[in-house]
Amino acid sequence: MSYFGKNIRKIRNVKKLSQQAFAELFELKRGTLGAYEEERSEPRIETIIKIANHFSITIDDLLTKELTVNKLLKFKDDLALQGSFSKEEFTKIPCITPKTEADYALYFDKPHFIEDLPKLHLPINPDKKYRGYLISNLEMTNNDKAYCPKDVIIGEKVETNDITKTENGSLVIVLLHGKVLFRKFYHSSANITLQATNSNIDDLEVDPTEIKELWKVCYTFFKRLPDNHNVEIEQKLNFLEQEFMKLRQNFK
């Protein structure tokens, strides 16, 4: 009989750690930890080793003996013993990567799939829905400027009913049938145009009903430092482009 589940529950109580805090400490899901404590699941050997090493417990004691409170209080791990610190939680943002992009197009509406995506941790509003995207191509690049591979963008969720209210010229992460794209967004009375910065990529005209998800880009993390002068020029050009699109719509 293994005492692992009973012992880690006792360790948590003595160290004043919630299931979530304990799980994150050892890169586990809270539900997985709960299954260990309730003896519904057996841990991997690497998990046992991590926990034993962290608290300076022998693996034999952790698995084969019911640990006493007195013994637990002698374990190292000063941080947990203090019990008075306040742990700051950053917002966790699921991120689409080149490896997960194809599967995302299939399983974007499956909570368990979203939960398993890599996470970005940022100090931003936790009440909003975000999606990260790791750029892997040159479709939004012009002469090595703007967005390049390895840059990361963060988009805020645009609800289906509000897609056509998105401002022209906005940068968006968009999910269509079978693919995820990073584009500039323009809309007219009938269709939506998704435009790449790279002049070799044709504009894509789509019906609003074809869009399964839309995330308006609100944060960008460049792998390299951008040239401030070029950024200012790009912003001005983007403004002029938006104004031109408005004029073109007025003359239709």
- DSSP for 61-130, please give it: HHHHS---HHHHHTS--HHHHH-------PEEEEEE-TTTHHHHHHHTT-HHHHHHS-EEEESS-TTS-E
Q: pLDDT tens across 108-154, in order? A: 999 989 999 999 999 998 899 999 999 999 999 876 567 999 999 99
Range 46-55 average pLDDT: 88
So what's the pLDDT on residue 55?
83
Query: pTM value?
Result: 0.59
